[in-house]
Structure 1
Amino acid sequence: MTRLAFAAVSSSPILLSPTRRHLRFPNRPISALHVSAMPDPHPSLDITGGARDLFLPAFSSLHRPYSPFPLLAQNCHVETIFASFFRCSPPVTYKRECLRTPDDGAVALDWVAGDQFRLPPSSPVLILLPGLTGGSEDSYVRHMLVKARSKGWRVVVFNSRGCGDSPVTTPQFYSASFLGDMRQVVAHVASRYPNANLYAVGWSLGANILVNYMGQDYETCPLAGAVSLCNPFDLVIADEDFRKAFNVVYDKALTNALCKIFKKHALLFEDLGGEFNTPLAANAKSVREFDDALTRVSFGFKSVDEYYSYSSSSKAIKHVRTRLLCIQAANDPIAPARGIPRQDIEENPNCLLIVTPKGGHLGWIAGPEAPLGSPWTDPVVMDFLEYLERGSSQSPACRSDGEALQQSTVDLHQLKV
């Protein structure tokens, strides 16, 4: 969502870098994607989307009922909070790479130490985008990373400006609609591993940014596939619910995290004029208040509502041409089910939507590793991504044009910290 810190076939080919392997399956027969007989999905799962029939064979577990862990899943807030505080965090040793962006900002990429020697250059690469104020230390990020690595994937965590101790070098953080850093990171990773397919997984605000990127940059997006988890989609609706009842607890927690990041770098914002309200940003009582004091001004919006409306990925999903899996929980208190753009997902031949009856936000305490292990979503995500990777390795080369990708790579400079 715009704030959490507990965090098909395409009708026309996508333009890609000529140095990369085939990353799409335009106009290919379904049989080419390993379609095989499988049980129908369990009725406890709500599964829809234009790519439903195409991608259902990818999954090995959707014929089984979604069985949340007893007691914890009786209340969406209990599940959300339990997952945030008590889910185990797998040990991971990172090697950090900091990148300087064209506006002299900086983001941090956390790679798994040693993978540059352990994995071949052609291993698929997975970019992880955490939720608001989240980073590579979050348990849900680490569980996904460990699951992907166990399958032989190279994984990198994209820590946005100020998140995960990423350096802040200019008076600008990031936002739900700002795609400049995302483009830079994807271009950099693509240039570093030109013979590998790129994929991405985003949670909450990271999912919103990811879908916006795929929808707005659909002609140049080099991703072979992506997964969106607990995406708020419609930020206006999410904002309405965020300020109701128990949700104020999440609002307060996220606001505190935002204020902490801001205060750490307050000197950079000291001399800003115009509509900036730095005292309010430092002492905001809600995410909306923080966004009004700083975020919407930084990115040129006249009001918070204009910022939320423009930044909603529900408007971008109809344009997505990359294979996309969206997983939502029907009882998510922060990414409301009523904000899911169901019709656009159903009409997009590249999209699949899975809605679980329980899960909370960043919870999904179900499956064999519940309650302390990885969320129910992780094996489902890997089934999908491995299915795409197997299909891409057997497909013929498609039309490509890497000018946009190469141009954005030219402007990327590394920042050593």
Structure 2
Amino acid sequence: MSASDHHQQPHPSFEILGGGLHRFFPSLTHLTRPYNPFPFITWNRHVETIFASFFRSTPHVTLRRQCLRTKDGGSVALDWVSGDDRRLLPHAPLLILLPGLTGGSGDSYVRHMLVRARSKGWRVVVFNSRGCGDSPVTTPQFYSASFLGDMHEVVSHVSDRYPNANLYGVGWSLGANILVRYLGQESHNCPLSGAVSLCNPFNLVVSDEDFRKGFNKIYDKALSSALCKIFKKHALLFEDIGGEYNIPMVANAKSVREFDDGLTRVSFGFKSVDDYYFNSSSSDSIKHVQTPLLCIQ
């Protein structure tokens, strides 16, 4: 819901699909209360975003890192709350957090969710994708909106480690897109008991177009700068890669689109960056999702 909607409706709009109305709505009674935005900063969504980025505190949490080697030789980093194995029962509900593009366990929004879930007795693990959150990169391939291999391996590993726990997932932005695509691909066989999608772009073609308009260019530049920083840290892996890769463009990308065109879409076998965006959108996965899913935009 945008800031301009505050005067048009007393509370967020809410839609339930798939027959879950009578099962879940009674527990969400707070949605019927009027929405009272934070004073001064909620007149504009960009002000809200910038305020949270620069002024919101980052909770201190001691994490224990586990590096998981994937079947293709890649690596991802799983960050667990230190000491949870002593404090929590083996069957405590387990929450997998998927940060947004370039994000990781050190980001404020991830830490706040982690702390809130821990306060309710949940075991939490942050899934840092390849290169994100200082996760190691061991092959010339990062991650993408289309690639679900790492997600499958992380869920399988976590499930094997805590076989008696119900698993849940929360994803932001690109992490939400990956989560919803995973839910749709797994469909009736999904091992997750529930999931939440936060600020999911859903349609990456539309998202790409919006990124190149107005104030959104600021976000585009910031994210492309973060992507370039991750790439340069591991540039030696791509030194002699050849093929359709455009390494100079990747190293100096001024937009997420440039980065994806020079590297991401080539790594994952797409003909063009538009082909990559079209075929990696989670909007096409929704109809296959059979797991309880809450989407908050």
Q: TM-score range by the shorter chain?
A: over 0.9
Distance 2:77 2:92 in 1: 22
Residue 59 of structure 1: how far off its partner (Å): 1.7
Query: What is the aligned counterpart of 1:161 among 130, 139, 142?
Result: 130
Task: Say if 2:189 is the partner of 1:189.
Answer: no
Task: Say if 2:28 is the partner of 1:44.
Answer: no
1:176 partner SS: coil
**1:405 aligned residue:** none
Distance 1:56 1:241 in 2: 33
1:15-34 superposed matches below 5 A: none
Q: Which runs of 5+ in 1 are unaligned?
A: 1-41, 329-417
Residue 70 of structure 1: how far off its partner (Å): 1.4
TM-score, scaled relative to structure 2: 0.95
Task: Say if 2:85 is the partner of 1:116.
Answer: yes
Q: Which runs of 5+ in 2 are unaligned?
A: 1-8
Residue 325 of structure 1: how far off its partner (Å): 0.5
**1:56 aligned residue:** 25
Amino acid in structure 2 at the alignment position of 1:313: S
**2:43 aligned residue:** 74
Query: What is the aligned counterpart of 2:142 among 152, 169, 173?
Result: 173
Give CA-to-partner distance per residue, 1:177-209, whole Å, 9 cap, x none. 100000000000000000110000000000000
Distance 1:268 1:84 in 2: 32
Task: Say if 2:294 is the partner of 1:320.
Answer: no
Amino acid in structure 2 at the alignment position of 1:262: F
CA contact (8 A) 2:94 2:168 kept: yes
Distance 2:128 2:183 in 1: 19
**1:213 aligned residue:** 182
**1:101 aligned residue:** 70
CA contact (8 A) 2:11 2:32 kept: no
1:268-347 superposed matches below 5 A: 268-328=237-297
**1:339 aligned residue:** none
Residue 175 of structure 1: how far off its partner (Å): 0.2
Query: What is the aligned counterpart of 1:150 among 88, 96, 119?
Result: 119
Residue 52 of structure 1: how far off its partner (Å): 3.4
Task: Say if 2:221 is the partner of 1:255.
Answer: no
Task: Say if 2:91 is the partner of 1:126.
Answer: no
Distance 2:250 2:36 in 1: 42
CA contact (8 A) 2:193 2:292 kept: yes
Residue 54 of structure 1: how far off its partner (Å): 2.9
CA contact (8 A) 2:130 2:142 kept: yes
CA contact (8 A) 2:69 2:75 kept: yes
**1:137 aligned residue:** 106
2:96 partner SS: strand
**1:201 aligned residue:** 170
Distance 1:76 1:45 in 2: 15
CA contact (8 A) 2:75 2:136 kept: yes
Identity %: 74
Q: Tell me the number of residue pairs that the alignment of Structure 1 and Structure 2 aligns.
A: 287
Distance 1:99 1:55 in 2: 35
Query: What is the aligned counterpart of 1:242 among 211, 214, 229?
Result: 211
Distance 2:210 2:73 in 1: 36
Distance 2:221 2:22 in 1: 42
Distance 1:200 1:255 in 2: 26
Distance 1:65 1:83 in 2: 22
Residue 80 of structure 1: how far off its partner (Å): 0.8
TM-score, scaled relative to structure 1: 0.68
Residue 56 of structure 1: how far off its partner (Å): 1.1
Residue 273 of structure 1: how far off its partner (Å): 1.2
CA contact (8 A) 2:10 2:35 kept: no
Residue 78 of structure 1: how far off its partner (Å): 0.7
Task: Identify, as 1 or 2, the structure richer in helix.
Answer: 2
